[in-house]
Amino acid sequence: MITVAHEALENLVTEMIGRAGSNPEEARQVAHNLVEANLLGHDSHGVGLTAQYMRHAKAGTLTVNGHVSLVSDNGAYLLLDGNMAYGQVTGGEAMQLGLDRARTAGVAIVGLRNSHHLGRIGAWGEICARAGFISIHFVNVVGHRPIVAPWGGAEARYSTNPYCTAVPATDKNPMFVLDMATSRVALGKVRVAYNAGKEVVEGALIDHNGLPTRNAAVMYEQPTGALQAFGEHKGYGLALLGEILGAALLGGPVTDPAQQGRETICNSMLTVIVDPKGFGRDIPFADAIDSMLAYVTSARPGEGVDKVRVPGEPERETGADRRANGVPVDPGTWALLVEAGVEAGMDRHDFDGIAG
């Protein structure tokens, strides 16, 4: 592993995204979001995506320096089009517009369709939670070949459609963030295993015959297999809600054969923003969370586990470690970064100089 200080990594990726056509503010926003994903332990959504983003910018399947545009505005409902601009920009704009609406209407239902990759969905939930609101996010992913098999199916039909809910911190507990792909593992984790020549966890993949396998190559070599849904039929059902609520409801593109030949990442996302005081100020919401979490996490840990955790906690722990000790980047990902940077006119020494 190569270890890089997060500030240096962010500067490097800012330079790369800038060279792909973004203005300095956008380049910084994108780089910050990617490095934050690495810091929190989600390398699948970190700087390893830089080269892909640059390719999409060059091909015109990502709109650099783009913004959301308003499609419709109806009471608590706001529909935005992301115009295939960077999700790091459109996601932030959608949350700010949604929060403004929730502050006046008590609730906001925000549709964002046709955005380029929104990255770690937790980033958007955390903005809402920091502002004191609960947020619920249903998301679909299209723009490339499908990679997840429907439950009972032997071939891929949709993608890793993430789901997220974030709840503001209480006096005793930090914010609660459940943020997850609806596949057993994210594709980026299979990529890391493939690059390292390692096997993937049991139950994550099927081969082209629909049979379970731990061989990461089935996602990168012909004949291709597929990722499995998490939680069997239940995860599959939740993923379809990503299509129905996250895209179909908003007029965004749903998974279909037309997506097969595309070479981009397109997210559509439904965000419901709720005021925790909406049902009345006398409901002891925070106290109930605190007593429930205290009881749940008091369970005796199972074998090989140091303690019972709450969603969001692993990310905070990894974040504290990586902020202090640097971000590990696997050699395969680093080589792709260097290659993309050099191709964009950067000096190889810019990379060598920060790699520990």
**Burial readout 116-146 (b: 16 or more C-beta within 10 A, e: otherwise):** bbbbbbbbbbbbbbebebbbbbbbbbbbbeb
| Near ligand NAD by CB under 6 A: residue from 160, 228, 259, 271 | 160
Q: Which of 294, 72, 116, 147 is nearest to 80 (CA)?
A: 72
Contact map string, positions 186 to 205, toward ligand NAD, x by CB under 6 A: x-------------------
Q: Is residue 198 exposed (0-12), middle (13-18) or buried (19+ Cβ within 10 Å)?
A: exposed
293 binds ligand NAD (CB under 6 A): no
- Which part of the chain contacts ligand NAD (CB under 6 A), choosing from 14-22, 24-32, 111-119, 245-253? 111-119
Q: Whole-number minimum distance, CB 118 to ligand NAD, in Å? A: 5
- Which part of the chain contacts ligand NAD (CB under 6 A), choosing from 120-128, 150-158, 200-208, 212-220? 120-128
Contact map string, positions 130 to 149, toward ligand NAD, x by CB under 6 A: -----------x--------
- Residue 165 β-bridge partners: 136, 178
**Cα–Cα distance between 198 and 192 in angstroms, integer?**
8
| Near ligand NAD by CB under 6 A: residue from 18, 82, 162, 168 | 162
| Near ligand NAD by CB under 6 A: residue from 18, 48, 66, 119 | 119
Q: Whole-number minimum distance, CB 310 to ligand NAD, in Å? A: 6
| Number of neighbours of residue 327 by Cβ within 10 angstroms | 26
43 binds ligand NAD (CB under 6 A): no
| Near ligand NAD by CB under 6 A: residue from 178, 286, 335, 346 | 178
DSSP-assigned letters across all residues of 213-282:
E--GGGGTSSSP-EEPBTTTHHHHHHHHHHHHHHTGGGTPPPSSGGGTT--S-EEEEEEEEE-TTTT-TT
Query: Within positions 216 to 235, which residues make up the interface with ligand NAD, using CB under 6 A?
Result: none
315 binds ligand NAD (CB under 6 A): yes
**Cα–Cα distance between 52 and 47 in angstroms, integer?**
10
**Between 51 and 123, CB nearer to ligand NAD:** 123
Task: At 327, list the tokens.
Answer: 């971000």
- The DSSP letter of residue 183 is B
- Which part of the chain contacts ligand NAD (CB under 6 A), choosing from 144-152, 243-251, 279-287, 309-317? 309-317
**Cα–Cα distance between 148 and 158 in angstroms, integer?**
5
181 binds ligand NAD (CB under 6 A): yes
**Cα–Cα distance between 237 and 234 in angstroms, integer?**
5
| Near ligand NAD by CB under 6 A: residue from 180, 241, 248, 354 | 180
Contact residues for ligand NAD, defined by CB under 6 A: 42, 44-45, 117-122, 141, 160, 162, 164, 177-181, 186, 267, 309-312, 314-315
